[in-house]
A and B are shown apart, each in its own frame.
Chain A
Amino acid sequence: MSEEKELQLKNLISSQAAVEASGDLRQRISALAGYHDSSLRHRRAHVGRIRFAFAASLSGIAVLAVIALSPSMVSAHTLNIIVAAVDSAKSMHFTMVDVSKSAPYGSYEEWVQDGAFRIRRANGETTLWLGSTKYVYSPSAKTVIKSTDSRGRFSHGAPAFKMSSILQGMTDARRTPAVVTNTIDSASYRVQVDNKPVGERYLFTVDSKTDLPRTMDVERQEDGVWIVKAKGTIQFNDKLAPELLSPNFSLDAKVIDADIYTDSLSKQFQKTLATVSLPTGHSLSIQDAQASTKGDVFLMYAGSGLSGDHWAELTDERGTKYMKVDKNNGGGFQDTVLWLGNKTPVIFEWWIPIDVSPSFRPHTYTLRFKTQKRVKLNKPGTFYDSAIEDFGKPASFKIDHPTTADVPAYAPIIVARDPSVGVNMPTDDADVQRVTATAMCRYLQQVWLDKSGKPVETMGFGGFATYNRKVTGYRRDIPSLEKAYGFANQEVAIDDAYVKVNGLGTANYQGYIDLFQISTLLGRTEEAAKYLEDIRKYAPKSVTNELRWRDFEMSMGNIPAKP
């Protein structure tokens, strides 16, 4: 009886436990294991590694500060806030790993030593700076793009590792974080930095003797409780393996010298295809126009006088409108400026046809620039952008045949030359599809109709506010919204597959925002409420705050209230 009872007990207890780990969990832990095995290999290769404890002169990095300020990824802007400092470490190895399924950061690893800097993402994409030479290795494209950035990675001064320097860096960047410091024991103390705009906080454990941080947790608030989303570990003063700080990547990767490449491009751009004028009278010359087999258009144009107040418009002879891919609509990169030999800026742009064409057709395209008239308000020195637009003189050009399946060969090279980190040009079909779906979805959401029924393009939330129009006509644009809904679903599906393949933490919450907005506009309130939950789960607080705008619209009765 006793044995029988114990057997029942065993069955009961074993049956309540999960039997097998999901593929997703296996993948996440496998990515984590990959990092540790690789760093362990490097360390084992240097059994007699030298420790430079309490070393004096320093080249460190405020990468920790950078991460703290922009945890999603380091960017050109945040790199620029690096503060000059003499610090107390000779090398640094930083590992950042998503520990939560809903963490949106993406795991990555950084190494710094003797002015060299390397960052590797979970998917293997690696950027290496050696002085003023930058290498961008893409395992999927099997290329290493080498370029020179005269400013170098540490042009803003030697990086700082010390906790006090990191906090100073944040203060200098005008973030003025709320900092709480607690003593743990005689050997260490803890620093908590609140990053209120994004609803996060960072918890550092710091060595009291050296003031160097050892660990960093990124936390987000959920249901009033702070939850650890990502964990960073930092090792100082290990002598890093030489191969980490040398430009030896995969043997089968093709090395492209971007400087030589752009010199040859500048020769190619001697001829001007067409000239387009700005409303201000300045003119730009279109140097190159290519199309892909999918019908996307890639333009490069040179000239000056272009400011942020100008919007380009691309159409073809059939009236098809094109949407420019940029950071605001899922492209992940800004218009890239290529400086040619004579210091002429050449702007690279990627355009997607709004009417999805299954394949390329020869077209005559028209490019024109517009700006909005500024109207002075009663309050001195304040203006608003009126709906009245000024146009420059358009330019027309023809493309007879496609030259690429995805993006032009030059695109990833000039994007890799960008001095910032984390700027990637999609080079394979899946990536291009993802960007396309995202851009289309964003565009179609932003097509509104004014009172007279005329389509009005807004620039998202801010654009809507400046138009100051009571938008009631968008319901008539249901077919576009249905299309946008399709693209948003596609976007989420591709994003999901993307993060799984690359071992990242979670899908991009932006897709859920798209689905929420569109289903709200379509009157599918239950569905919208579901997506709103997803957004609240995945998005930082700054984003969820932005959604108050939607609540406002609901309260105005312009769109149905939440169930």
Chain B
Amino acid sequence: MTLTAPAPAPRSTAGRTELPPRPAPNPHTIVVWVIMLGLLAGGVWSMIDLGVTPEKVFGQFANAGDFLSRTLPLDFPEFGELMSMTVETLAIVLLATAFSVFVSLPLAVLAAANTTTGPFARFSSRVIIMFCRAVPDIVFAVILFRLFGLGALVGILAMGLSSIGMVGKLYADAIEEIDKGPSEAIQAAGGGRWQWILSTVIPQIMPQIIATGLHRFDINLRASVILGYVGVGGIGYYLAGALNTMQWQRGMALALVVLVLCIVVELIAGVIRMAIMGRGKGGFIGLLNSISDGWVTRPVDTHSPQRLGSGRVRVSPPWDGARIARTLSIGTLLVLIALAVLVTDLTQANFGRAVENFFPTMGQFFPPSGGGNYWDFFWPSVVETVQMGLAATLLGVVLAIPVGSLAARNVAPSAAVATGFRVFIVVVRGIPELILAIILLVIVGFGPVPGVLALGFGAIGLLSKLVADSIEETDVRVQDAVRAGGANRAQVYFAATLRQTAPAMIAHVMYQLDVNIRASTLLGIVGAGGVGYWLLQAHRLQQFDVLALLIINILVVVLIVEGLALYMRKVIR
């Protein structure tokens, strides 16, 4: 751009002076646009190709009456049996979550910039965390079955390992955000690395340790159903068995049990979260405090320590409400973990044999091979899985943007409407997608359509919330300015509100795509087609070379989507 001096006086009439040339668009911006349009086109094509069109969908839903007659009355297992499978599921999920928390903590310490021991440790732990995130738990499960054989241990390790991807990442982020002052103080007092990490870093992230653990417990409970299909015990195992043998009444009853279980866990988690955050006077601790006031005595003299009856200095906190609650919760957790270990027969697991078998077993997976069927069966199934992910995301966007917008207080016509939609979002979030997919599969029959519908509907729970949150974070003055210019409601929405949230929106959509492609793999296992179907077949028929090939395919797809998302977030930030 050349500057010509002196500049002519500004004029209201265009045409006299040359307009400055438009700055060349950033090539990365163009690439992002191409990717977005490509994904949109892919979504539309996938919808048509998979048959997720209104007439077809409504045609299939015409069977709904038929569905009711097939599933009613629900056939619940007898109480004792139901309890034992529920306990097994909860035990596996609890141990998997505990495992992921305990393994994630040291990994996160090594992965966080302020606590790592060096660049090598940091890089390796980041790679491990990313790897665990990329591999779906079902893939861990089919590999681990070769090492440990049937048993709960496979489920625990598979779910635990794949949880590390999220838990480890969140812990590392939390560690990087702590106040580094206390750590420096311990260093200045001669404390070593692990001393200051345990004494100052871990206490600071304790609330996040608990909150993330609870969140992951919830996610794992929902995911646990799928592991039943590859032989992990618990409700999922019986659910899979019922559906595979077309016992719809039993299957639906068990699906309902999982749904109720998820809601109960969500409620309990909410209570615990409140207790951690609100250290208020009321509630359970308040009650304990009012009881313990009877025996708690506090020192009065500031310059002499309180002494016990024996004359020794009192150096343990009084048994007040907080200490009772703390002791009770730690005790309960330990007892639950111990019970879970007993229930799942972990003590019987033969780790020695697994270690011995490791290399021979891994050897069975190599070389990966499709047995000449790759292009005829497996490749189309990979494409189908990607199509399900794309179609579900497109459907999700179409559903979630209006729902999310109406849930945002600064867009919704009234506060009541916003609250109503917020509640709706929370309710949808409570429904496990997998259970929804299973119900839909029973209604409309096996195939990708119910999977796409379930994931698209599930997007209301996740994507709408993200959309609503980012809309509420927009600068309302821009909306005011556009409104002052005489724009109507719709014009304000599109020109000011949506425009402002575009970068955040793209990030959310990519995240949802990432989630959906992983989920489509899993849905294949319950009968929605795609690569999951062949994964399950290869697992059952013990075709290790095929399994390896499919796993590699899944990983490549997941990593491509992850890479795209990462790149786009970088560009549009």
**Is A bound to B?**
no
Which B residues are within 8 Å of any A CB, using their own CB?
none
Which A residues are within 8 Å of any B CB, using their own CB?
none
